[in-house]
Amino acid sequence: MKEIVKDIRRWQKQDKKIALARVIDLDGSGPRLPGAAMAVTEEGEVAGSVSGGCVEGAVVLEALEVIKNNERHIVSFGYSDEEAFSVGLTCGGTVHLFIEPLDW
């Protein structure tokens, strides 16, 4: 969180809407621990990261939805047989993220 506060403050000064995504839980192996955080603006600007680059693209899309609908929820990414083309962690683990508008 600490490393993205500066970017968040800059965007807040520019009155941009921001979503914050945080890793809250991992099943199996995962590159970033709970607490890893990424902020996304309504324009798609990004600070921080929540994985080794495996799911960041999908998190941006989810974050934009969160900003648009002004709601917060858990999103999970993992390897899935049924959705062979869906996004996941290459290391085989599942990462659970909480994504919410930064309205607090």
Partner 1 sequence: MNRKPQKDISIFDRVEELLNEEESFALVTVVKGPPVGEKMIVFPDEKSGVGFEGSLGNSDLDRVVSRDARGELTAGRSGVRNYGESGEAREETVQVFVESFIQPPQLLIVGAVDFTAALVKIGKVLGYRITVCDAREIFATTQRFPLADEVIVEWPNKLIEKIGQTFGPRDAVCILTHDAKFDVPAIVSALATDVGYIGVMGSRKTHEDRINRLYEVGVDDEGMTRLRSPIGLDIGSRTPEETAISIVAEMIALRTGRSSIALSETKGPIHD
Near partner 1 in 53-72, by CB under 8 A: 72
Q: How far apart are CA 98 and CA 10, in angstroms?
A: 23
Place of tokens 């508008």: 101
Between residues 30 and 88, which has the closer beta carbon with respect to partner 1? 30
- Minimum CB separation of residue 85 from partner 1 in Å reads 25
Sign of CA dihedral 26, 44, 6, 74: negative
Q: Is 88 in the site for partner 1 (CB under 8 A)?
A: no
Q: How far apart are CA 35 and CA 14, in angstroms?
A: 26
3-state secondary structure of 99: strand
- Minimum CB separation of residue 39 from partner 1 in Å reads 11
Binding positions for partner 1, rule: CB under 8 A? 1-2, 5, 8-9, 22, 24-25, 29-31, 33-35, 72-74, 91, 96, 98, 100, 102, 104
